[in-house]
Amino acid sequence: MSRIGKKAVAVPAGVTVTLDGQTVTVKGPKGQLAWTIAEEIEVKQDGGELTLTPRVDTQRARAMWGLSRTLVANMVHGVTEGFEQTLELVGVGYRAALKGSDLSMALGFSHDVDIIAPSGITFAVPKQTEVKIAGIDKQLVGETAAKIRRIRPPEPYKGKGVRYAGEKVRRKEGKKK
């Protein structure tokens, strides 16, 4: 029994959920998201709640049950509040700036690194060493943050690089005399 899958997804006021076969479309104040649920899962809408149940009792159905419920809940959360990821730039001369809606970063290379904002993603630079990535799709926000971090991941000796806010970098001891 999936403990996550058993929970109903609450649909707040101002959000409309449309079921078209296996496709769930969620429309809210921040935008619209759609996703096709696996055939093994049945979706029912009753009032302000969505309930997901497996059609058959197979291992794949049980696996998709909790996943589907979480993805639908993330879609509802995304169109109401949105998602945000914060990156920190640590290192001498490491800084970020906005060029229109795109992001330009100096990360110790001989050139600036420019990142074009994917559709549905907005960048914000409150400080030169801080980048905020926001959007309604949780997967796209996380993937964009991971791609930016992959350009210059934190190194273990001085801790320089791009890291998630609050990320602990395991430091190594330098060489001895």
Quick: pLDDT tens for 73-129: 999 999 999 999 999 999 999 999 999 999 999 999 999 999 999 999 999 999 999
- Distance separating alpha carbons of residues 160 and 177, to the nearest angstrom: 23
Q: Which helix (H) or strand (E) holds 68?
A: helix 59-80
User: Once rounded to an integer, what is the mean pLDDT over residues 23-33?
Assistant: 94
Q: Which of 45, 39, 4 shows the shortest CA–CA distance to 26?
A: 45
Q: Are residues 12 and 80 in contact, defined by beta-carbon separation less than 8 angstroms?
A: yes
Give the confidence band of 48 by pLDDT, cuts at 50, 70, 90.
confident
Instruction: Kindly report the pTM of this predicted structure.
Output: 0.89
Point out the least confidently predicted range of 2-6, 116-120, 168-172: 2-6
Residue 7, sorted as left (phi over 0), alpha (psi -120 to 50) or beta, turns out to be beta
Question: What pLDDT does residue 175 have?
Answer: 87
User: Which segments of the chain belong to CATH 3.90.930.12?
Assistant: 3-80, 83-164
In CATH, 3-80 is 1.20.1280.290: no
Question: What pLDDT does residue 1 have?
Answer: 64
CATH of domain 83-164: 3.90.930.12
pLDDT at residue 2 tops 80: no
- Distance separating alpha carbons of residues 163 and 125, to the nearest angstrom: 15
